[in-house]
Structure 1
């Protein structure tokens, strides 16, 4: 793990320990009366989340709000799981750029990988680059490379080591799709679920609505993008410091 991510992880672990110590001082009666069922992402203290392992990441639920994405994505250069540096502006002549937010160990991402690879294959002849991007403080480049090998992920997984790219992109959870328009300064044309196969507490065998594919087809046809993301989106929450 890099020094930057190790430092952040140690910091969050220390904050978590302090939060747990403070909670242990509360009375048993008060603890018994607390109701956590309605707690949402906005009301949770990031320091109280479990960062000790990948399986401990917080899942989005029916009460988790969607914060939306940035209108434009600023240029960036990130190391990929393929060992190469990748720069967004290198694709200024592409008809679109597609990113999927990634997290090692997130079951929603793992279940979406096959669909995402199929989407990339569907548009491979259109000159559209496909990436995944990881802003988790607990994931490092070696783990991204291992994940890519384990799940035969052919597109690079970009390591947003200091979380600056994910923060400026405004995303809040994994397994979400960004479709960017390079001809309009990498404007975000769509941010949301890849399709409707995975939703909160439900997974279909096959998707009925292919949101990202519809967006790309509209862009390639020179049409106005009219596709909107569903309000409830499955994923694992990204913890920004």
Structure 2
């Protein structure tokens, strides 16, 4: 059969995970206090949530499309270990697990309970665990397919390794920023308590903290700009690494 269906499968899966999925996952984890200008909401919802929902909805649709494309290519037949080898067989198994996770995620998103529901924690943890599993398995499948494809194998391995390294690096950067956010938030909370105490006259000897050396509002604005910059860099790097990967896939015979 024509390999175009297999090539299209690889294209949509790479786009789904490397561009849309990764950005959506990062927004859910690190974009919750993000502002664009002075706005923290868009169309009545938080910017992080709208971005997260849009990107991962698009990613989910692409993953399901990729699944159907490979079914068409295989004519509904399962991958055989004897004929296709253990690596491609493992790739198909991991891919099937990912698709199951995505279907579960769609179901959870459609029927999630109210944020104030006593059962909300069940949705939160199921959503996080399922999403993390799917995202983690996507890295495994990327590496598996680099060993399956015969042409330009080294180039594929380099690109996927760079992508994995970048994800580790950007998570470290974001975690450092989150740590700074927590420090600033703690400082703001402490200053608020001191201000409240002074206003109530409970302890007239308590003075505001003038030794902190940091204006929390200015510091938060700076951290917000750094986050926006990192998200932009991530999107650019994701696209830059995805394009040669897709080109190599389409050059496979």
Indicate the TM-score class for this superposition, using the shorter chain for normalisation.
under 0.3
| TM-score normalised according to structure 2 size | 0.23
User: Given the two structures, how large is their TM-score scaled by the length of structure 1?
Assistant: 0.23
Greater strand content: 1
Which of the two has higher C-alpha Rg? Answer: 2
